[in-house]
Amino acid sequence: MAIIEDHSKSPEADHLVDPVDVVIRTRTPHDPAISRHFAATDPQRGRDIAKSARVTRLLKDRRFQFLLILPNQIIFWVVIAVGLVGTVVPGLNFATAITWYLWFCLVFVMMVGVGRAWCAMCPFGGFGEWLQRRSFFQRRHVSLGLGLKMPERVAQYGFLLSVGSFLVLTWIEEFFNIAGPGNPMATSFMVLGIVATATIFFLTFERRTFCRYVCPLSALIGSVGAMGAVAGFRTRDREVCQSCTTKDCMRGDGDGYGCPWYTWPGSADSNATCGLCTECFKSCPSNNIGLYVQAPLTSVVAPTRRRADIAWSVALLFGLVLYQQLNALTMFSQLDGWLNSHTGFPQYPNPIDYLGVIVLVALALGALGRIFSVAFARADFTPAPGGRAFVDRTSRFRSYFVPLMYAIIPVVGADYFARQLPKFLQHFPRVLVSVGHLVGVGSTSSSLYNASLIASNRGIIAVQVGVMVLGTIAGAWTSWRIGARDLAPVSRSPRLAQWSTVALTVGLGVLVSVLYVLMNAAD
């Protein structure tokens, strides 16, 4: 393993930008009539909390990020150790109890409420970054590792790489019943596997390549986290950024590293790829970076650039959670068993129906985007460069499909959160017992071990459906705004396109709610 110099001051640093091709921008209406009825009414980008002197001092302190990560780092190494050598009873083992009864639910709370809050304190990325930088928090100018760049032909797939790793990890978890929870050692091996993979990437590639492209949670947090109230670090005056000659936010300087996430604050219009690492804030020589908080859902509605990789990620992630819901139904579990018996596969989940359902859902959503483009597109739809018929059809499809997938983000986010609730509501008290068991006072005979926050299936279903109702209402609101900003200007029936977008989102929310009733609080 080589020790490499920090090339953050080299000319090549100017090219450290997100290579994902942006496929759609917010369009301006074609005629005054549409302008009057569908004028943009999106909220402003938010309030800069870094204008506070106390917040500024905190964010400038190089120990800040380290102190955010350290508690989680300690907890996760305890999880690994206890999972390997602790009790084999899942409900008593701290590793399984805190991971599957509490942590996974809290991650969804953070992403829905804040955005990439977990990324700011993640122990997996933190451990790899400490090794890469050869420091816990000091600014070093020599890094450990090969420092390679992610090849553009791979990086162009953006969040789809992360979705792929999430699908693989979820299948492994289901196959070995890790989150059941099953054998505590399986949880430890899973966590060790993530840490090892992250470390290899940190020592092979530059910056947070793992976090940006490969981490199993990155696409989920980056898409669902658009609902959050933290916009991330952005430029205060874009003209200052445009005229800046140093670009220290991307290159780094003596006080901070260049953005590990390859995100230029001057062009950020959503929180999708801001890992809240504070490095651009520390590095900016003009004090032109702020930390903005915003109204919830702003990063869903307001981006002027919508990305196809995020749209397809939302479609695939929705397919995964629908698969998990369908799997809880007797009819579907019989199909899985039938496939196993005819393919010789040992047990659930059969990879054919696992991938089949996910892909079919994504393709079905893609077909809806195609239907919208055929049904509503204006005759004077602006063709893609070159004017070729195929390219024009592709551009037209993207102009409808991408906004539609952004519109359903609140429904998908609510669905993932509701899916975690049975374990939390039924078994959260066991987390407290598992903590006691570490010091010899917790047991399966304690009343707390057998207690539940909500014991009845009917109560759990009510909470799940309530979450979906809130998500569906939020989705209806985002659909109405996105329909006005993105679809109405390119539609020959603007109001019908807008209402159809809302109807699609509400219909998916109702479908998911019905599935939760049929699942009967299955976890």
Q: Which of 301, 329, 351 is the last residue of a domain?
A: 301
32 occurs within a structural domain: no
The pLDDT score that the predictor gives to residue 141 is: 87
Q: Are residues 259 and 394 in the same domain?
A: no
Find the mean pLDDT for residues 102-114: 89
Domain that holds residue 382: 305-519
CA distances to 63, 198, 262, 297, 493 from 138, in Å = 8, 21, 21, 36, 58
**23 — pLDDT class (breaks 50, 70, 90):** very low
Please report which confidence band the pLDDT of residue 31 belongs to, taking 50, 70 and 90 as the band edges.
very low
Long-range contacts at 504-508 (CB < 8 A, ≥ 24 apart): 504/368, 504/404, 504/407, 504/408, 504/479, 505/407, 505/408, 505/410, 505/411, 505/472, 505/475, 505/476, 505/478, 505/479, 506/472, 506/475, 506/476, 506/479, 508/318, 508/408, 508/411, 508/475
> Is 31 domain-assigned?
no
In a domain, 139, yes or no: yes
Q: Is residue 40 part of a domain?
A: no
Residue pair 252/309 in contact by the 8 Å Cβ criterion: no
The amino acid at residue 171 is W
Percent of the chain with pLDDT over 90: 69
Average pLDDT of every residue of the chain: 88
Q: Are residues 63 and 166 in the same domain?
A: yes
Report whether 368 contacts 275 (CB < 8 A). no
DSSP 262: -
What does the pLDDT look like over 297-316, one tens digit per residue? 999 998 888 999 999 999 99
261 and 330 assigned to the same domain: no
Residue of higher predicted confidence among 370 and 254: 370
**What are residue 73's phi and psi, to 5 degrees?**
-60, -45
Last residue of a domain, one of 246, 272, 301: 301
Spatial strand order in the sheet of 230-235: 47-48, 289-293, 230-235
- Residue 235 pairs in a beta bridge with 289
pLDDT 10s digits, 136-175: 999 998 899 999 999 999 999 999 999 999 999 999 999 9
How large is the greatest C-alpha to C-alpha distance in the chain, in angstroms? Answer: 73
Q: Are residues 221 and 339 in the same domain?
A: no
pLDDT value at 1 more than 80: no
Flag whether 504 is in a domain: yes
Q: How crowded is the C-beta side of 40, counted as CA atoms within 13 Å?
A: 15
Q: Are residues 239 and 215 in the same domain?
A: yes
CA distance 184 to 87: 8
Mind giving me the DSSP string for 360-378?
A: HHHHHHHHHHHHHHHHHB-
CB neighbours of residue 92 within 10 Å: 22
Burial per residue of 257-268, b for 16 or more beta-carbon CB atoms within 10 angstroms, e otherwise: bbbbbbbbbbeb
Flag whether 37 is in a domain.
no
Residue 9 has pLDDT above 70, yes or no: no
CB atoms within 10 A of CB 284: 25
Q: Which of 301, 316, 349 is the last residue of a domain?
A: 301
70 pLDDT above the threshold of 50:
yes
Note the pTM of the prediction, 2 decimals. 0.90
CB-based burial label for 160 (10 Å; 0-12, 13-18, 19+): middle
For residues 166 and 236, membership in a common domain is answered with yes
Using pLDDT thresholds of 50, 70 and 90, give the confidence band for residue 253. Answer: confident
- Indicate whether 311 and 291 sit together in one domain: no
User: Above 60 in pLDDT, residue 14?
Assistant: no
Residue 292: both structure tokens together: 């903005």
In tens, the pLDDT along 212-235 reads: 999 999 999 999 999 999 999 999
Total number of domains in the chain: 2
User: Do 414 and 466 share a domain, yes or no?
Assistant: yes
The Cα–Cα gap between 96 and 83 comes to 7
Phi then psi for residue 205, to 5 deg, are -110, 160
Same domain, 324 and 297: no
What local confidence, expressed as pLDDT, does residue 352 receive?
A: 93
The pLDDT assigned to 302 comes to 87
Q: Rounded CA gap, 474 and 300, in Å? A: 11
One domain, residues 294 and 375: no
Check residue 330 and give its pLDDT.
Answer: 86
Residues 87 and 179 in one domain: yes
Render pLDDT for 392-450 as a digit per residue (tens, 0 to 9): 667 888 999 999 999 999 999 999 999 999 999 999 999 999 999 998 888 889 899 99
One domain, residues 324 and 283: no
* Cα 316 to Cα 459: distance, rounded to the nearest angstrom: 30
From the list 84, 79, 109, 77, the residue with the least C-alpha distance to 96 is 79
Q: Which residues 6+ apart lie within 8 Å of 184 measured at CB?
A: 82, 83, 84, 86, 87, 88, 90, 93, 95, 96
Give the pLDDT mean for 95-102. 95
